[in-house]
A and B are shown apart, each in its own frame.
Chain A
Amino acid sequence: MSETFTKAMARNIFYGGAVFFFLLFLGLTFDTMQQLPSRDHRENITDSVVRGKHIWETRNCIGCHTLMGEGAYFAPELGNVYVRRGGPFIKAWIQSQPTGVPGRRQMPNFNLNEQELDDMVAFLKWTSEVNTNKWPPNIEG
């Protein structure tokens, strides 16, 4: 790099650039926070949805599945599973695990009771209704 471009100039670009773009990021975050209520439909987050998210987390579902495309890629996307399969299927599926088919990927049985299964479905239903800009591309997730 040329001699006229000094280390002090480089340092100033670093500090100035970092501060400027972090402030821009904060501004965009502020605007996003204003828009989110109409996109995430938080008015529909019932106690059941809250409990469902807690079950989702404490069983580490994200360790195999993706949710809105984030997570592990070992098992199907579940952000839209409510639309794909419906509530009764989801409950029956969770209860019937593991399939025990030799050589196939296995999901543990978490021994969820009826209430917990309903909470799980409520959480997945709410999640499927978030405005995700039409992602995933199709029903298969």
Chain B
Amino acid sequence: MQYQSQAVAKPYFIAAIGLFVGQILFGLIMGYQYVVGDFLFPEIPFNVARMVHTNLLIVWLLFGFMGATHYLIPEEAETELFSPKLGLITFWVFLVAGALTIVGYLMVPYATLAAMTGNDLLPTMGREFLEQPLITKVGIVIVVLTFLFNISMTVLKGRKTSISLVLLVGLWGLAIFFLFSFYNPSNLVLDKYFWWWTVHLWVEGVWELILGAMLAFVLIKVTGVDREVIEKWLYVIIAMTLITGIIGTGHHYFWIGTPEYWQWFGSVFSALEPIPFFMMTVFAFNMVNRRRREHPNKAATLWALGTGVMAFLGAGVWGFLHTLAPVNFFTHGTQITAAHGHMAFYGAYVMVNLAMISYAMPMMRGRTANSAAAQTMEMWSFWLMTVSIVFITLFLTAAGILQVWLQRMGTTPMSFMAAQDQIMVFYWLREITGFVFLLGLVLYIWSFFCKKGEAQTAA
């Protein structure tokens, strides 16, 4: 670790991993509710479990992004953080606000929570992924702006690299597009139209800039390839991301009341969205093959390579699978969407965070890389989690194809629940695979405490 203030990243990473565990536990609860419908009812109804599952995901990814930013910006800017104290304050505020929100979801009926937290003043709740109470949303804005102030000031006083600029553009975009979560008109079509400005322009827009910057940083560190080369790749990748992804928003505008022409714009542009992800894979492998040093942290390199491959498969291939309007007409809102969502989020955002944590955590613990034994354990966790998510995705895809066939095609379509009963076996398989994923996650955490072997300290 070159700068003392980089250590601010540590609590962010620890919290991220902790919340990740919570996300997976609630995922397992939901997966079980898919097969045994009344499990934990009425204590934790499915909608509550799902809200906790998805919100924990979003929050822990944000913790990961913020941790990564606090770690890489001082090194890129070649200066200490503008204010390490502010970095720690935003951490605690965000953690407490996040925890209170989750407790609120679990302890209080949602309608009561809404009434308690001022939702009648400005109704923003009850929309997918944006379920947070108004005060939490305001809190998120304050936390993110404080964080951005701290980071922007750091970059301003130091060296301005392309990686920090791209990261900053991504983070500012994240803050700006979140503001659409406060716009909730009573016209559902308008509501949905601008809801995507937060949701799509985050995950298929500005978040990819953050992802790209983090991946580029890790690759520079582990491969020693010339910065000029890596940053050129970064710009090309994120250029393709926004060129395809902005109009690609149109693939959400097929069936929500918006004009027909979106079927053309959405299909064509989102069909091109796999390109930047494919480039990311080529980029990662290319840089590792052209490496100019043998970095002892093999685990971090594995996560970085995995990010490219799995993001391409999950976001690229599984996205393309159902993005063309004539296909989406049948698959929209089925388990196909769930299949894509799981592999895309894991492949792109979970893995890039774990790559960053894998690289930075040993540094913050005073070593270049963990012991060989700890790395072996971490790489086992990589394979367990990654193979599990591939199978979860395959099972959900099978479930989705059958669902479409039974419920939406043919002359005597089944009702939703009748079709669900027919595909139960795939939900069982998905749930069992979920436990393998959990095993991988436990092993991942265990690897941090592995005492065997000697850590590498030589720079």
Where the two chains meet, the residues of A that have a C-beta atom closer than 8 Å to any C-beta of B are 1, 5-7, 10-11, 13-14, 17-18, 21-22, 24-25, 28-29, 31-32, 35-36, 39-40, 42, 45, 49-50, 53-54, 56-64, 66-77, 98, 100-108, 110, 126-127, 130-133, 135-141
Given A36-B258, A76-B416: A137 touches B409 (CB 8 Å cut-off): yes
The residue that A7 contacts in the complex, of B162, B187, B238, B261, with Cβ under 8 A, is B162
Does the CB pair A68–B416 fall under 8 Å?
no
Does the CB pair A21–B329 fall under 8 Å?
no
Does the CB pair B126–A57 fall under 8 Å?
yes
Does the CB pair B33–A105 fall under 8 Å?
yes
| Complex alpha-carbon distance, A71 and B262, angstroms | 20
Does the CB pair A54–B123 fall under 8 Å?
yes
Which of these binds chain A: B149-157, B229-237, B345-353, B372-380? Answer: B229-237
Does the CB pair A28–B265 fall under 8 Å?
yes
| Complex alpha-carbon distance, A36 and B123, angstroms | 22
Q: Is B192 interfacial (CB 8 A cutoff)?
A: yes
Given A40-B187, A50-B186, A127-B188: A68 touches B246 (CB 8 Å cut-off): no
Q: Which residues of chain A are within 8 angstroms of B285 by Cβ–Cβ distance?
A: none
29 A-B pairs (CB sep. < 8 Å): A18-B239, A28-B250, A35-B259, A40-B190, A40-B257, A57-B127, A57-B184, A58-B114, A58-B119, A59-B126, A62-B128, A63-B45, A63-B47, A69-B255, A70-B192, A71-B128, A73-B337, A74-B47, A74-B50, A102-B38, A104-B38, A105-B37, A106-B38, A106-B41, A108-B45, A130-B188, A132-B257, A133-B255, A138-B408
Which residues of chain B in 205-260 are interfacial with respect to chain A, using CB atoms and an 8 Å cutoff?
228-229, 231-233, 235-236, 238-239, 242-243, 246-247, 249-250, 252-260
Q: Which residues of chain A are within 8 angstroms of B330 by Cβ–Cβ distance?
A: 137
Where the two chains meet, the residues of B that have a C-beta atom closer than 8 Å to any C-beta of A are 30, 33-34, 36-38, 41-42, 45-48, 50-51, 110-111, 114-115, 119, 123, 125-128, 131, 162, 184, 186-193, 228-229, 231-233, 235-236, 238-239, 242-243, 246-247, 249-250, 252-263, 265, 329-330, 332-335, 337-338, 407-409, 413-417, 419
The residue that B232 contacts in the complex, of A6, A17, A61, A98, with Cβ under 8 A, is A6
Q: Which residues of chain A are within 8 angstroms of B187 by Cβ–Cβ distance?
A: 40, 42, 45
Does the CB pair B332–A45 fall under 8 Å?
no
Does the CB pair B257–A36 fall under 8 Å?
yes
Does the CB pair A60–B126 fall under 8 Å?
yes
- Known contacts A68-B255, A108-B45, A140-B419; can you find 13 more A-B pairs with CB under 8 A? A10-B239, A28-B262, A32-B193, A32-B259, A58-B119, A61-B47, A69-B256, A69-B332, A100-B38, A105-B37, A137-B330, A137-B408, A138-B413
Does the CB pair A60–B186 fall under 8 Å?
no
Most chain B CB atoms below 10 A, which of A21, A61, A133: A133
Q: Which residues of chain A are within 8 angstroms of B256 by Cβ–Cβ distance?
A: 68-70, 130, 132
Does the CB pair A53–B186 fall under 8 Å?
yes
B178 to chain A, nearest CB (A): 17
Q: Which residues of chain A are within 8 angstroms of B231 by Cβ–Cβ distance?
A: 7
Does the CB pair A39–B259 fall under 8 Å?
yes
| Complex alpha-carbon distance, A133 and B258, angstroms | 8
Given A56-B126, A62-B126: A68 touches B413 (CB 8 Å cut-off): no
Given A60-B126, A105-B37: A25 touches B247 (CB 8 Å cut-off): yes
